[in-house]
Amino acid sequence: MPAPAPSYWQASVPPFQGGTGGPVEGEFDVAVIGAGFTGLSAARSLAKAGASVAVLEAGKVIGAASGRNGGQCNAGTAHDFSALSASLGLDKARALYLAHCDAVDTVERIVREEEVDCAFTRCGRAKLAAKPQHFDKLAAAYEVLVREVDPNVSLVPPERIGEEVGSAEFHGALVQRTSGQLHVGRFGLGLAGAASRASAAIWEDAAVGGLARQGDAWQVRTARGTLRAKQVLVATGGAAPQAPFGWFRRRIVSVGSFAISTAPLPDALVAELFPARRNYVTSRIIGNYFRLADDNRLIFGGRARFALSNPVSDLKGADVLEAAMRRMFPALAGVPVEHRWGGTVDLTADRLPRAGEHDGLFYAMGYSGHGVQMATHMGECMAKVMGGDAGANPLADLTWPAIPGHIVGKPWFLPMVGAWYRVQDWLY
C-alpha cells in the first residue's frame, strides 16, 4: 500500500525531532495513548505539574486527525443552539457552548505561553447560507445566540454577502467573531516540543496492543516494549485498533473527511473572493469548509464521501472537493491544486465530545469536527482531572451509550447515512 499523502500542514513542517529513542520501558505516573492535540496538551500540562509522563503514538506525532484537518479553531458548538437547549436544557447547552469558546482561548494561551509560530489569528467564522431559505434559519439562530449565550455573533444579509465571500452560491451568513485559525502542523510540533521540554517522553511508532491492571498500576504493552503507569489517558479515537479500545470504538463512528489546498493565490484574487479572510462553513448537512492559509493557499474541505474505504489512501473524495471548489469559485479555474489528503472525523451519535473515566481508564475523544480547539482544551482539562480536580471536566455530565448495531469493524451503516443526508440537503 502506498504511503498516505501528507496534508498541506504536515508537508510544510519538518518531522518531530524530540522523540524518545530505544525501547518503551520504565515506570511513569501517566501513560498518554496518542500524540495528537489531546495527548500532547495533556502531556504538557501533566509534566509541567511535576508528573512523569510517557506519550505512546502508533504512528508519528500529529500524524492522524490533528494534522489532517482544515485548521479551523471555531468557538461554539456546531449544533443549533435552540435544538441543543431543547435536548439538554438551557443551562447545560450554555455550558457546552461556552466550553467550546473557552477552548479557543486555551489554544491562544498555549500559543502565547510557548511562543509557537503557527499564524494563530482571531479571524471569525462565517456560516454561509447555501440556499435562500437557509438564511431564515441563520437569522433565527442569531436571535437565540445573542439572547442566551454569545454576544459575539452578527448577521450578514444576502445583499451584503459580497463583504464576506465572492461567490454567487451564498445567500447571507451568520458570523461568530471570536473564532480563530492556525497552522496545525506548526502548532502540533510546538505542543510536542513543549511537552518534551517539560520532560515528557514521547515514543513514536509505539502502537498500544495491550492494557492490563497490575496492582495499583497499568501494564501498557506496545510494539516497542512495555511500561508501567499509575494512570492512563486514552487520547485516540475510533481509528484505534479494536483491542484494547473496544468500549470506545462502539461509541464512535469514524467518517472520512477530505481536503485540498491550492497554490498561493494572488492578493487581488484573495481580496475579490475572501475579503474578510475568515473561516467559512456552508449550511448544508454534507457541506464544505474553507479558509486561507497564511501564505494565501485556499484550504478547502468536506465530508465528500461516506464509503467504507480508507480515506487516508483512497482520495476520490478529494476529486469531488476540487469539482465543488471550482463550481463555487469559477475564478479559481486556472489555479492548480497542490495538496490532496484524507483522514477521519470521529463522530459521536449526538456530535458532542466525551471525556471522563471508564473502568479505570481516563479518556477524551469524539470531537466531531471541532478537534483543533476541543482536543487541546480537553487535554488540559483531563490533566487537571487526573491531578485530582474532578470539577475540571466540562463534559462530565454527558452520558455515553453505545451506538446500536455498531459492534466491531467498520460502521456498515455509513453509506445509508450519507444517502439520507443527501436527500435532506436536496429537500431542505
H runs (alpha helix) in 237-312? 246-249, 267-273
CA distance 52 to 49: 9
The whole-number pLDDT of residue 260 equals 96
Q: Per-residue confidence of the chain (428 residues) as pLDDT tens digits?
A: 456 789 999 999 999 999 999 999 999 999 999 999 999 999 999 999 999 999 999 999 999 999 999 999 999 998 999 999 999 999 999 999 999 999 999 999 999 999 999 999 999 999 999 999 999 999 999 999 999 999 999 999 999 999 999 999 999 999 999 999 999 999 999 999 999 999 999 999 999 999 999 999 999 999 999 999 999 999 997 666 556 888 998 899 888 889 999 999 999 999 999 999 999 999 986 789 999 999 999 999 997 455 545 655 567 778 889 999 999 999 999 999 999 999 888 999 999 999 999 999 999 999 999 999 999 999 999 999 999 999 999 999 999 999 987 766 566 555 655 555 565 665 56
Residue with cell 461567490: 167
The whole-number pLDDT of residue 316 equals 78
The whole-number pLDDT of residue 1 equals 45
E strands within 142-189?
A: 153-156, 173-176, 180-181
CA distance 169 to 185: 31
The DSSP element (H or E) to which 145 belongs, if any, is: helix 132-148
Residue with cell 443549533: 80
CA distance 88 to 102: 20
CA distance 131 to 220: 51
- Is the backbone peptide bond immediately before 330 cis, with ω within 30 degrees of 0? no
Judge whether 35 and 193 are in contact, CB under 8 Å: no
User: 341-376: string of b/e by CB count within 10 Å (b at 16+)?
Assistant: bbbbbbbbbbbbbbbbbeeebbbbbbbbbbbbbbbb
Q: Residue 161 has what DSSP assignment?
A: G
CB atoms within 10 A of CB 327: 11
The whole-number pLDDT of residue 246 equals 87
CA distance 136 to 138: 5
The whole-number pLDDT of residue 366 equals 95
E strands within 171-326?
A: 173-176, 180-181, 201-203, 208-214, 217-222, 225-234, 253-262, 279-282, 288-292, 298-302
Q: Extract the C-alpha cell encoding 222.
A: 506496545
In one-letter notation, the amino acid at residue 13 is V
Q: What is the pTM of this model?
A: 0.94
The whole-number pLDDT of residue 424 equals 60
E strands within 243-322?
A: 253-262, 279-282, 288-292, 298-302
The whole-number pLDDT of residue 422 equals 61
The whole-number pLDDT of residue 241 equals 59
- 3-state SS class at 407: coil
